[in-house]
Structure 1
Amino acid sequence: MMLKLKIKLFSLLLLCTSIANAQTNTYKFKRSITGVNTVWHKMTLPDDLYKKANAGFEDLRIFGINGKDTIEVPYLLKQRADKVTTNDITFKQINQSTNPNGYYYTFQSPGINLINQIKLAFKQDNFDWKVTLEGSNDNKQWFAILSDYRILSIKNNDTDYQFTKLNFPDSKYKYFRVAVKSPIQPELLEAKISKTDTIKGTYKEVRYKSFDVKNDLSKKETVVDVTLNTPVPLSYLKLNAQSDFDFYRPIKIEYATDSFKTDKGIQYNYANLYEGTISSLEETAFNFENTVTSRLKITIQNNDNKPLRLSSLQLKGNISEIIARFDEPKSEYALYYGNEKATNPVYEIEKFENKIPVDLTSVNIGAEQQNPAYSIKTEKPLFENKAWLWVLMVVIIGLLGWFSFKMLKN
Structure 2
Amino acid sequence: MLLLIIIAAKAQTNTYKFKRDITGVNSVWHSMKLPDQLYKNANAGFEDLRIFGINGKDTIEVPYLLKQRGDKTENKAIAFKQINQSSNPNGYYYTFQSDAAITINQINLSFKQDNFDWQITLDGSNDNLTWFSILKDYRILSIKNNDTNYQFTKLSFPNSNYKYFRVALKSPVQPELLEAKISKTDTIKGIYQDVKYKTFVVKNDAVNKETVIDVTLKNAVPVAYLKLNAQSDFDFYRSIKIEYATESFKTDKGIQYNYANLFEGTISSLEKPEYHFANTITSRLKITIQNNDNKPLRLSRAELKGNVYEIIVRFDNPTYNYALYYGNEKATSPSYEIEKFENEIPAILTSIAIGQEQQNPAYSIKTEKPLFENKTWLWLLMAVIIALLGWFSFKMLRN
Per-residue CA deviations over 1:138-196 (Å, capped at 9, x if unaligned) read 11111111111000000111111100000001000111111111111111010000000
Aligned to 1:324: 313
* Paired residues of 1:382 and 1:388 also in contact (CA < 8 A): no
Query: Is 2:263 the partner of 1:274?
Result: yes
Aligned to 2:125: 136
Counting only pairs closer than 5 Å after superposition, residues 301-320 of structure 1 correspond to structure 2 as: 301-320=290-309
Question: What is the RMSD of the two structures over their aligned residues, measured on CA atoms?
Answer: 1.7
Aligned to 1:368: 357
Per-residue CA deviations over 1:54-94 (Å, capped at 9, x if unaligned) read 12211111111111111111111111111110000000111
Of 243, 266, 274 in structure 2, the residue corresponding to residue 285 of structure 1 is 274
Q: Could you tell me which amino acid in structure 2 is paired with residue 36 of structure 1? A: V
CA distance in 1, matches of 2:345, 2:121: 48
Q: 1:179 to 1:51 in 2, by over 3 A?
A: same
Aligned to 1:120: 109
Query: Is 2:250 the partner of 1:261?
Result: yes
DSSP-derived class of the 2:172 partner: coil
DSSP-derived class of the 1:77 partner: strand
DSSP-derived class of the 2:292 partner: coil
Aligned to 1:90: 79
Per-residue CA deviations over 1:287-329 (Å, capped at 9, x if unaligned) read 0111111111111001111111111111100111100111111
Aligned to 1:215: 204
Query: Is 2:14 the partner of 1:25?
Result: yes
DSSP-derived class of the 1:183 partner: coil
CA distance in 1, matches of 2:235, 2:67: 40
CA distance in 2, matches of 1:145, 1:68: 69
CA distance in 2, matches of 1:13, 1:403: 65
CA distance in 2, matches of 1:80, 1:181: 43
Of 175, 185, 190 in structure 2, the residue corresponding to residue 186 of structure 1 is 175
Could you tell me how far 1:258 is from its partner in structure 2?
A: 1.2
CA distance in 1, matches of 2:121, 2:127: 19
CA distance in 2, matches of 1:45, 1:87: 34
Could you tell me how far 1:53 is from its partner in structure 2?
A: 1.1
Could you tell me how far 1:214 is from its partner in structure 2?
A: 0.8
Of 280, 283, 286 in structure 2, the residue corresponding to residue 294 of structure 1 is 283
Query: Is 2:94 the partner of 1:105?
Result: yes
Q: 1:284 to 1:388 in 2, by over 3 A?
A: closer
Q: Could you tell me which amino acid in structure 2 is paired with residue 87 of structure 1? A: K
CA distance in 1, matches of 2:58, 2:394: 66
CA distance in 2, matches of 1:132, 1:193: 16
Query: Is 2:325 the partner of 1:336?
Result: yes
Q: 1:384 to 1:73 in 2, by over 3 A?
A: same
* Paired residues of 1:42 and 1:321 also in contact (CA < 8 A): yes
Q: Could you tell me which amino acid in structure 2 is paired with residue 258 of structure 1? A: E
User: Which stretch has the larger CA shift, 337-346 or 200-209?
Assistant: 337-346
Q: Could you tell me which amino acid in structure 2 is paired with residue 273 of structure 1? A: L
Q: 1:260 to 1:352 in 2, by over 3 A?
A: same
CA distance in 1, matches of 2:77, 2:293: 40
Structure 2: gaps spanning 5 or more residues: none
Aligned to 2:66: 77
Q: Extract structure 1 runs of 4+ deviating beyond 2 A.
A: 381-409
Per-residue CA deviations over 1:237-272 (Å, capped at 9, x if unaligned) read 000001111111100111111111122211111111
DSSP-derived class of the 1:350 partner: helix
Query: Is 2:358 the partner of 1:378?
Result: no
DSSP-derived class of the 2:250 partner: strand
CA distance in 1, matches of 2:167, 2:96: 8
Q: 1:147 to 1:70 in 2, by over 3 A?
A: same
CA distance in 2, matches of 1:136, 1:116: 15
- Report the number of matched residues: 398
Q: What's the % identity of the aligned pairs?
A: 74
DSSP-derived class of the 2:167 partner: strand
DSSP-derived class of the 2:9 partner: helix
Query: Is 2:257 the partner of 1:242?
Result: no
Counting only pairs closer than 5 Å after superposition, residues 37-56 of structure 1 correspond to structure 2 as: 37-56=26-45
What is the TM-score with the length of structure 1 in the denominator?
Answer: 0.93
DSSP-derived class of the 1:51 partner: coil
Could you tell me how far 1:16 is from its partner in structure 2?
A: 1.5
DSSP-derived class of the 1:382 partner: coil
